[in-house]
Structure 1
Amino acid sequence: MIDWDDVRYFLAVARGGSVRSAAERLGVNHATVLRRVAQLENRLGARLFDRLPSGYRITGAGQEVLGLAEQIEASSNQLEARIIGRDQGVRGLLRVTMAPTIATHLLMPDFAAFAQLHPEVEISVLSLDEPVNLTNREADVAIRVVYDRNTLPPNLHGLQGPELYSGVYVSRDLLAAWRTGECERVRWIVKDNVGLHNWAHGGEIPAAEVPFRTTSADAQIVAVRKAMGMTTLPCFVGDADPLLARVPGTRLRPHGTLWILTQGETRKTKRVRLFTDFVSRRLTAYVPLLAGRIDPVD
Structure 2
Amino acid sequence: MSNLDWSDLKHALAVAEAGSLAGAARRLGVNHTTVLRRLDALEATLGTRLFDRKRSGYEPTEAGHAVLAHARRMADRVNEIERQILGRDRELTGLLRVTTAFVIMEHLLPAPLADFARAYPGIEVEVTENAFLVDLSRQRPEVVGQSLAHREADVALRLSGQVAEHLVGRNLGMTQCRVYARRGATGLPQSVQPLQELVRDAPWVAFEKDQQGRIYDSWMQSQMAQSRVRVRVDIFNATAAMLRTGIGVGLLPTFMEAGNPDLVPVSDPIPELAAPIWILTHPDLRQTARVRAFMQHVGDALSEQLRAT
TM-score, with length taken from structure 1: 0.71
Distance 2:65 2:265 in 1: 51
What pairs with 1:188-207 in structure 2 (closer than 5 Å)? 188-192=205-209, 193-194=211-212, 195=217, 197=219, 207=227
Over 3 Å counting, the alpha-carbon distance change for 1:49 and 1:104 in structure 2 is farther
Deviation at 1:242, TM superposition (A): 0.5
Deviation at 1:106, TM superposition (A): 0.8
Deviation at 1:90, TM superposition (A): 0.8
How many residues matched? Answer: 262
Over 3 Å counting, the alpha-carbon distance change for 1:11 and 1:275 in structure 2 is farther
Alignment match of 2:161 (pick from 147, 164, 167):
147
Over 3 Å counting, the alpha-carbon distance change for 1:196 and 1:285 in structure 2 is same
2:75 is matched with which residue?
73
Letter in 2 for 1:44: L
1:178 is matched with which residue?
188
Distance 2:54 2:302 in 1: 45
Deviation at 1:66, TM superposition (A): 4.6
Q: Is the 8 A contact 1:167 1:252 kept in 2?
A: yes
Q: Is the 8 A contact 2:173 2:276 kept in 1?
A: yes
Letter in 1 for 2:179: V
Alignment match of 2:178 (pick from 163, 167, 170):
167
Q: Is the 8 A contact 2:25 2:35 kept in 1?
A: no
What pairs with 1:72-221 in structure 2 (closer than 5 Å)? 72-136=74-138, 137-148=151-162, 151-153=163-165, 155-174=166-185, 176-178=186-188, 185-192=202-209, 193-194=211-212, 195=217, 197=219, 207-208=227-228, 210-221=229-240
Question: Which secondary structure state, in structure 2, belongs to the residue aligned with residue 236 of structure 1?
Answer: helix
Q: Is the 8 A contact 1:81 1:264 kept in 2?
A: no
Question: Which secondary structure state, in structure 2, belongs to the residue aligned with residue 241 of structure 1?
Answer: coil
Deviation at 1:277, TM superposition (A): 0.5
Distance 1:211 1:238 in 2: 22
Deviation at 1:241, TM superposition (A): 1.3
Over 3 Å counting, the alpha-carbon distance change for 1:13 and 1:237 in structure 2 is farther
What pairs with 1:25-44 in structure 2 (closer than 5 Å)? 32-33=26-27, 40=35, 43-44=38-39
Deviation at 1:60, TM superposition (A): 5.1
Structure 1: gaps of 5 or more residues: 15-21, 23-29, 291-298
Highest CA radius of gyration, 1 or 2? Answer: 2
Letter in 1 for 2:154: D
Deviation at 1:284, TM superposition (A): 2.2
Q: Is the 8 A contact 2:93 2:123 kept in 1?
A: yes
1:153-180 residue CA offsets vs partner (Å, 9 max, x unmatched): 1x32222210111111122243x43369
Answer yes or no: is 1:243 the counterpart of 2:269.
no
- Please report the RMSD computed on the Cα atoms of aligned residues, expressed in angstroms: 3.8
Over 3 Å counting, the alpha-carbon distance change for 1:34 and 1:243 in structure 2 is farther
Answer yes or no: is 1:280 the counterpart of 2:294.
no
TM-score, with length taken from structure 2: 0.69
Distance 1:48 1:106 in 2: 50
Q: Percent identity?
A: 27
Structure 2: gaps of 5 or more residues: 41-49, 139-150, 191-200
Over 3 Å counting, the alpha-carbon distance change for 1:101 and 1:265 in structure 2 is same
1:294 is matched with which residue?
none
2:278 is matched with which residue?
259
Q: Is the 8 A contact 2:13 2:72 kept in 1?
A: no
Letter in 2 for 1:72: M
Letter in 1 for 2:188: W
Question: Which secondary structure state, in structure 2, belongs to the residue aligned with residue 119 of structure 1?
Answer: coil
Question: Which secondary structure state, in structure 2, belongs to the residue aligned with residue 232 of structure 1?
Answer: strand
